[in-house]
A and B are shown apart, each in its own frame.
Chain A
Amino acid sequence: MLLLAPTVLALAALTVYPGVWVLWLSLQHRIPIFEVSRFAGLDNYAFLAVDPRFLNAGRATAIFTVASVALEVVLGLTAALAIHAQRGGRRLALSFLLLAWAMPAVVTAKLFEWLYHPTAGLINVALGARSLNWLGDPGLALPAVVLADVWRTMPFVAILCYARLLAIPAELYEAAQVDGAGRLATLTRITLPMLGRILLVAVLFRTLDALRAFDIMFVLTGGGPAGMTETLTVYAYRALFQTLQLGFGSAVSVVVFLLVMAVAWAYLKFLRAGTTVAA
């Protein structure tokens, strides 16, 4: 019990207590600099329910999450398979991937901001003379952010799949080869099913991370242009700290919190169900 005491204390003080506090804040009108502090009930939530900016943020979050996770899984799986098929140079290959993952998201944002530069950015140069305004065009901004995030987080999925691939016993492949199975058949009948579970875990992690993503869109576009890349987290942050509307901002934060928890819970149930079925 003594062993657990510091842990429980730390968690209670710094995670649980603020978690409850933010709920309480969301039920208030709280603006410290104007000494506003009064109970507001569910007013903030009622406002959010019909708030176009909130709905827009929800849309941006949903698109970002789905697109990001889908791309990461596909690319990550491909990369893992490719590295696994290598005979030598794997460490180097992994290093290239991990380079992208290990850096702070802010560095990635600055990297891509430079790449997306209309005239001097590598991307526009590679595409020819067309100076696409990646970060300024409302239609292009969100894809641009998704691309940057996928670049940064695909290695995580790749590493997970790769580790799982290493654990697949060689006998399976040898047996398949003896049976005369072709490459594609091996892939679809043996490799992918064995990867099924880890892929689900990867999707879970990545979905939760994408829902909570903040750094990359905040630094790359600040939520613009015209709120096209303003996800729920960015909206919450702006509501909180641009004008210190702590009550209203907390309400948006709580929504993010509940959303993430709901998705986590749903996934875990799905995973657990998967386990019992498999068993």
Chain B
Amino acid sequence: MRRPARRIGTLGDVVVLGALAAYAIPFFWQLLTSFKPEAELLRVPPLLPSRLTLAHYRVVIEQSLMPQALGNSLGVATITTLLALVIGLPGAYAVARLPLPGKHLLLLAIVASTAFPQIATVSPLYLLMRALDLRDTWAGLVLVHTSFALPLTIWLLAGFIREVPIETEEAAAVDGAGLLGLFRWVVIPLLAPGLASTALLAFLFSWNEFLFAYTFTVSGASRTVPVALALFPGVFEVPWGDIAAASMLASVPPVLIVIVLQRFLVRGLVAGAVKE
């Protein structure tokens, strides 16, 4: 990529970086708070603590639902992602490649599904969960999460599939590959980065999801991280330090994804919007 004509100098780079680092101050302040001793939390200024402590993390890990919630979130998010991909990939392929009657309508329905407000379906889903006795289970939450991750997955994957040149598939077909073989040896390997991006977005969606998790989880058996954080117990006053520690633990997977898998994340975000 050639450099466009106008660029700022190194000083400008530093200024921009500084401004954006300042943008992330709320996060860093919470990080600092999670290590601040209890007695110093409410005495501000001074901003910096006299010493760092792991007490809040200890409380969160030993006495709160967070560890269980982390396990639940990991499980639910992983299964949701897998399900969404497994169901969504064939569907996306059909939408992207195969000529179908009424495809335009289907596409519209899928797009409309991504705009669906969760509040609209929470009451019938509540009755459904009640009838199927799936409340406070992983299965119930996975079902609900998948229903919302699916349209997003299909839309993204369809876009990525369209980027794969059709000639490769035609060549494979000429070589005698069936549909399954086509998938296995051609589509998926070429689609790997797109799959990764989609998987990341689906995972993040499920991990961050709050409304359904709040309504359908009851105890440590299935309570996810956002709900555990929102309902973090405070007996007398709000335990700011413990909440800060819990917040940091809740952010670990998203932050990891941001730092390590940034490229895929950006690709996914962009693909969803730029594709027309």
Chain A residues packing against B (C-beta within 8 Å): 1-4, 6-8, 10-11, 13-15, 17-19, 21-22, 25, 79, 82-83, 85-89, 91-100, 102-112, 114-115, 117, 119-120, 122, 125, 151, 156, 159-160, 163-164, 166, 168, 170, 173-174, 176-177, 183, 186, 198, 201-202, 205, 208, 211-212, 214-215, 218-219, 233, 236-237, 240-241, 246, 249-250, 253-254, 256-257, 260-261, 264, 275
Contacts and interface: CB of A to CB of B under 8 A. Distances in A.
Contact of A159 (B7, B13, B266): B266
A6 B243 CA distance: 41
Contacts of A87: 3, 7-10, 13
Nearest to A117: B240
Contacts, number: 291
B143 to A, nearest CB: 7
A99 B258 contact: yes
Interface of B: 1-10, 12-14, 16-17, 19-21, 23-27, 29-30, 33, 41-45, 47, 87-88, 90-91, 93-95, 98, 100, 106, 109-110, 112-113, 115-128, 143-144, 146-148, 150-151, 154, 204, 207-208, 210-211, 215, 225-227, 229-230, 240, 243-244, 246-247, 250-251, 254-255, 257-259, 262, 265-266, 269-270, 273-274, 276
A22 to B, nearest CB: 5
A3 B269 contact: no
B262 A95 contact: yes
The SS class assigned to the B binding surface is helix
B98 to A, nearest CB: 8
Contacts of B265: 98, 102
Given A102-B204, A114-B243, A253 B122 contact: yes
A96 B150 contact: no
B270 A159 contact: yes
Contacts of B229: 104, 106-107, 110
14 contacts: A3-B91, A4-B94, A11-B150, A14-B144, A85-B8, A87-B10, A89-B13, A95-B259, A100-B26, A103-B250, A159-B269, A170-B1, A170-B2, A256-B120
B123 A246 contact: yes
Contacts of A10: 87, 146-147, 150
Top-4 shortest CB links A-B = A7-B91, A14-B147, A21-B124, A3-B90
A160 B3 CA distance: 20
